[in-house]
Amino acid sequence: MTIEGVLLDLSGVVYDGEQVISGSLSAISKLRAANFEIRFVTNTTRTPKKAICTKLAMMGLTLEERELFTPVEAARAWLIDNNCVPSELLVHSALSSAFTDLPDGDARAVVVGDAGDEFNYAGMNRAFRALLEGSELLALAKNRMFKDKDGRLSLDAGPFVQALEFASGKSALLLGKPSQDFFASALASIPCPLQRAVMVGDDADADVAGARTAGLGCALLVRTGKYRAGDERRFTPSPTAMVADLSEAADWILAHRLQN
């Protein structure tokens, strides 16, 4: 197992709420110093890309926008490629502007992200009716839960996507992790083949089992962020390795690097 490319989740791996996770910045520096190309892949759909970069810069992590992959860009690209406009947007208001300047299209899609407090019955029901009338169902993410500002777990976009799938009988097209297209486009920008890549995340489902199902060579589960005891046994495939945090993950990656 030799690693050439590194994909890192952000929330729960690099930072937690507004705090940098101890050791994560030096771990990233160490990987960069060893000439690893890193791509940051986040399913966070409450914050636009530019705002994520600004937040990271304030935390001491500098990255270019091209190093950051979010499901919002993937969804915009899919909508344009498929001549499609949103019939209903169930996304956080901070993101809705990302979907307002799309070209006209004949097809329709319901777009679901982590709308958080903005999820309500009326919006869910409009989305359901649009699905019955023929709209596609696009999920920016399908994560079950995330670690909220109060330190407790809260509902992510996934349960609401699942509700609409169950009601309508349609399957959502997933744009973020663990979609193979999403991982593949981040790795193509390095470039690095899937089987030479590692994904590091705190979500045993979307980050770890999902990455391995998508064909990535390995996936490490950190015990920071939303990790709860036993998560490594809740989903299959299981992690390639368990690590305490990003710092230990970096050591693992350096031990498995491609020797030239």
DSSP 3-state of 160: helix
d(CA 76, CA 182): 13
145, 184, 241, 254: which one binds a second copy (CB under 8 A) = 145
Q: Does 93 bind a second copy (CB under 8 A)?
A: no
162, 180, 213, 238: which one binds a second copy (CB under 8 A) = 162
Q: Scanning residues 122 to 141, which ones bind a second copy (CB under 8 A)? A: 122, 124-125, 128-129, 132
d(CA 120, CA 177): 25
d(CA 251, CA 23): 12
5, 158, 176, 201: which one binds a second copy (CB under 8 A) = 158
119, 189, 232, 241: which one binds a second copy (CB under 8 A) = 119
Beta carbon nearer to a second copy, 64 or 150: 150
Q: Does 153 bind a second copy (CB under 8 A)?
A: yes
d(CA 72, CA 113): 9
Q: Does 116 bind a second copy (CB under 8 A)?
A: yes
Q: Which stretch binds a second copy (CB under 8 A): 7-15, 81-89, 144-152, 242-250?
A: 144-152
Where do we find the tokens 């406009």?
85
166, 191, 255, 259: which one binds a second copy (CB under 8 A) = 166
What minimum distance in Å lies between the beta carbon of 119 and a second copy?
4
Q: Does 96 bind a second copy (CB under 8 A)?
A: no
Name the DSSP class of 138. E
Peptide bond into 237 cis (omega under 30): yes
Q: How far is CA 113 from CA 49, 91, 93, 105, 140, in A?
A: 14, 5, 10, 21, 5
Size of the site for a second copy (CB under 8 A): 30
Q: At what angle do helices 246-255 and 24-33 cross, to 10 degrees?
A: 20
Which residues contribute to the site for a second copy (CB under 8 A)? Answer: 115-122, 124-125, 128-129, 132, 144-145, 152-156, 158-160, 162-164, 166-167, 169, 234
